[in-house]
Amino acid sequence: MTHLSLRGSGERFFAACEAALGMRPPTAPNMVASAGGKALLWLGPDEWLAIGQEAAPLREALAGIHSSVVDVTSSRKSLVVSGERAEEILSKAATLDFNVGAFPVGSCAQTNIARTQGIIWRRSTQEFTIYVRSSFAPYLRAWLDDAAQV
């Protein structure tokens, strides 16, 4: 699955993105726009992680608009934490409130996870996807496995 780091702002930018991607980058902080296996995760006021999108048409659409599209597919690996204890395990690793009322399905957050950082995307009540920098993935995987045992 392609990962693109998408940067930009302003109405021209949003319009171009929407035209090229078929979805508009969410402007509400920490929200995810997703459809058909593609997603746009809000990472900052002018920054998104585009998942499952092609870079070339996007770059083309954004030509002449202050923006950046960088392929970061290899930058992160994903870990899935799911099941009845998903909230509990994440609560050992991160300081966020993982209660579904505070962290609804379809939202994401960047935060510290154990002693590294990552993006957490709530896919359903009991399922979270974590995107972590590739070099940290073995560490985080082992940490979460250990946390799940106690």
Q: Is the dihedral of CA 46, 34, 2, 99 positive or negative?
A: positive
Determine if 112 is a binding residue for another protein (CB under 8 A): yes
108 touches 41 (CB < 8 A): yes
Q: Is the dihedral of CA 108, 100, 142, 117 positive or negative?
A: positive
Specify burial of residue 36 (Cβ count, 10 A radius: 0-12, 13-18, 19+): exposed
Determine if 44 is a binding residue for another protein (CB under 8 A): yes
Determine if 111 is a binding residue for another protein (CB under 8 A): yes
CB of 143 to another protein, least distance (A): 6
Distance, C-alpha 11 to centroid of its chain:
23
Determine if 115 is a binding residue for another protein (CB under 8 A): yes
Q: Binding to another protein (CB under 8 A): which residues in 69-98?
A: 70-76, 88, 91-92, 94-97
CB of 6 to another protein, least distance (A): 10
Residues forming the site for another protein (CB under 8 A):
5, 7-8, 29-30, 43-47, 66-68, 70-76, 88, 91-92, 94-97, 99, 102, 109-112, 114-117, 133-136, 138-140, 142-143, 146-147, 150
